[in-house]
Every structure is written in C-alpha cells, then in structure tokens.
Amino acid sequence: MQTNPEIVLSLRDVAVTYGEGKNALTAVQHVNFDIHKGETFSLVGESGSGKSTIAKAVLGIHDTSSGVVNFEGAQINGKLPAKQRHALDRKIQMIFQDPAASLNERATVDYIISEGLYNYHLYDSEEDREKKVRQMMAEVGLLPEQLYRYPHEFSGGQRQRIGIARALIMQPDLVVCDEPISALDMSIRAQVLNLLKKFQEEEGLTYLFIAHDLSVVRYISDRIAVIRHGRIVEVAETEELFTHPIHPYTQALLSAVPVPDPQLAQHKQLIVYDPSMHHYETDKPSLVEILPGHFVWCNKAEEAKYRGELAGLAG
Ligand code: ADP
Ligand code: MG
C-alpha cells in the first residue's frame, strides 16, 4: 500500500439535485471520496442509488448543487472557462454502458475512433492519425480490415471495444466507466474487464468504475465505495470491505452475493437491511474513518458500537 498516494480526483460534500422547486429531487448528497493515481475506485449500489449522477457531476454533464469536485488539484465543478472545459473533456474520458446507443451509427469505426484526435488536433499528419488508429484497433483486439465498417456490423462486445478505443486514444488521466459490461453477454464480460485492466497496467490509468454487480467490483477494484439512496455508506480497500463490512447495508449487500459452492450456499445467511434502525434525529451522521482508510457513514452512538465490535474481534 502506498503511504502518500497522489490524488487525481476528490469529491467533498457533493450534492446533485434534479429539477426545481416542488419537483426538486436531491439524487446524491454528502458525497466524499478521493481517487488515487493509477487505481480503480468503484462505486457500487443498487439501480437508482445515484451512481450515474456522480459520474455526470465528475464529467460536468450535470451541475452540482453544493460541494467541491477537484481534479488534479483544481476545482472543476461550477462554471469553467471554455478553455479549461475543453482541456478537461480530453483528460477525463468516459466508457458507456450501452455501446450500441453511444456510437454514431452513420460513422465508420475509423471516424469514431479518430473523432477526438480531430477535435484536439492530436496528430501530425494524416499518416500519423492512421497509424494511431490502427495501433489502437490492434490494442483493443479489432482487425485492420474492420476499420471502414459501421457499428451495426459488430457484436456488443466488439462495439464496447470500439468505445474503449475511442476513449483511450485520447490518453486520458481519468476514465469513468459507467457499467461498461452490464449490457454485454456473460461470456464476453471477462474479456472486456481484462482489456480495461491491461490498459491500466500499461498506461497507469486511473478508473472511476461503476457497477451494481459485487463480484465484478471485487475483481476489478482497488477500493470500493458503497452507495445507498444517494449517500456513500462505506469506503474501504476491496479485500477489507469484503472481509470486514461494517455498515449494515454493506453487510446485507454482501450477504446476497451468490456463493458458487452449493454446500457453503446452504449455510449462508441472508442479512436484511432495515433503514429505520438508524436514529439520526439529534445525533447526526457523517463519514467516519473507523479504521485507517476504512470509512463508514454513522453517528456518534453507532461509531462507538462499531468500534466496540472491532475491539471484540481483535481481542
Ligand atoms: P444509478 O446510476 O445508481 O442507477 P442514477 O444516478 O441514474 O442512479 O439515479 C439516481 C436518482 O436520480 C434516481 O432516483 C433517478 O430516478 C434520478 N434521476 C436520474 N437522472 C435524472 C434526471 N435527468 N432527472 C430527474 N431525475 C433523475
Ligand atoms: Mg446508472
């Protein structure tokens, strides 16, 4: 473990609201986390918990209603000068859930992968651009003869490879992957995950990875934030989270992960989470560092209880 990791992205008390007045919906609030250079930091939570909302706030697709988003040391939420926005749109790339919907159906693969290069003039000559695109094609496992084909001629997995090529050819510092394998066939999910891992190892990329599937998150992540109902309830390193979940919601979520061994599965206990167990009327909760690098959303009374349980485990 690094002692002083370089922080690429940090969110401080971020909230995002959709709509206005009577129809206003605060989709996420009190969002706090840091992402370290070169790591995969995952957001995991049920559908509707606010994962994509956080991604959109990071990408500047949707405004925050409060809090601060810092990227490489500079604040990036709120109104930005056009030049800074343009630079950010290259440095932070996105890989979408649905590669079918996110690719321009009328454009060839060559154009789709080149689009960012054109927009940012990231090539010296036409030859140089072609070389970059061909290299990228090979890196994601597509063939040179597929260069002038259209998205509909590809399978879902291949289309996601095009989406990855289009994002990574920009040499981003941060890649936001919003459920990048959820729409793909089971049989090819691992291939796409491994491709993302390969790029990370080769390029030192930093990922904000979003998923609702815990086994995927366990496989890909260095650290994980569990989100429920627009709030981050727990943040920890992957193995720490899976072996010592502290927040009752995390415990419930983990208890519902299927166990492949039928014998073990028989003894597995499903934990049910009851949100009414918390009493936050006067003793207010916040994200507390219970163990080094292990944060839990709790109030003073719960913090004392969790610490007591941990002391019991240690003793
Ligand atoms: P997730 O990605 O975890 O499934 P989202 O971030 O998409 O969750 O949604 C979080 C909450 O915000 C949900 O209640 C959703 O209905 C609401 N929401 C998302 N996008 C919008 C929008 N554009 N307008 C209004 N409400 C939205
Ligand atoms: Mg989503």
CATH, residue 25: 3.40.50.300
- Distance, in Å, from the CA atom of 273 to the CA atom of 247, rounded to the nearest integer, reads 10
Establish if 137 belongs to a structural domain.
yes
Q: What is the CA radius of gyration of the chain?
A: 21
Least confident among 224-238, 269-283, 293-307: 269-283
Considering the chain, what is the average pLDDT of its residues? 94
Range of the structural domain that residue 280 is part of: 245-315
Q: Which of 244, 263, 281 is the last residue of a domain?
A: 244
Q: Which of 223, 244, 265 is the last residue of a domain?
A: 244
Establish if 1 belongs to a structural domain.
no
Q: Which of 212, 244, 276 is the last residue of a domain?
A: 244
Q: Are 177 and 95 in contact (CB under 8 A)?
A: yes
What's the distance, CA 60 to chain centroid? 15
> In one letter, which amino acid is 292?
P
- Distance, in Å, from the CA atom of 195 to the CA atom of 188, rounded to the nearest integer, reads 11
Q: What percent of the chain has pLDDT over 70?
A: 98
- Distance, in Å, from the CA atom of 126 to the CA atom of 106, rounded to the nearest integer, reads 21
Give per-residue pLDDT as tens, 47-89. Answer: 999 999 999 999 999 999 999 999 999 999 999 999 999 999 9
For a mutational test of ligand 1's pocket, the pick from 49, 52, 53, i.e. the residue with the most ligand atoms closer than 8 A to its C-beta, is: 53
Same domain for 252 and 206: no
Tell me the pTM: 0.95
Q: Is 121 exposed, middle or buried (0-12, 13-18, 19+ CB in 10 A)?
A: exposed
Same domain for 165 and 42: yes
Give per-residue pLDDT as tens, 193-249. Answer: 999 999 999 999 999 999 998 989 999 999 999 999 999 999 999 999 999 999 999
Number of domains into which the chain is organized: 2
Please name the helix (run of DSSP H) or strand (run of DSSP E) that holds residue 274, with its range, or none. none
Give, using CA atoms, the residue closest to atom 23 of ligand 1.
Answer: 18
For a mutational test of ligand 1's pocket, the pick from 20, 23, 25, i.e. the residue with the most ligand atoms closer than 8 A to its C-beta, is: 25
Same domain for 254 and 182: no
In the chain the first and final C-alpha atoms are separated, in Å, by 25
- Distance, in Å, from the CA atom of 97 to the CA atom of 184, rounded to the nearest integer, reads 9
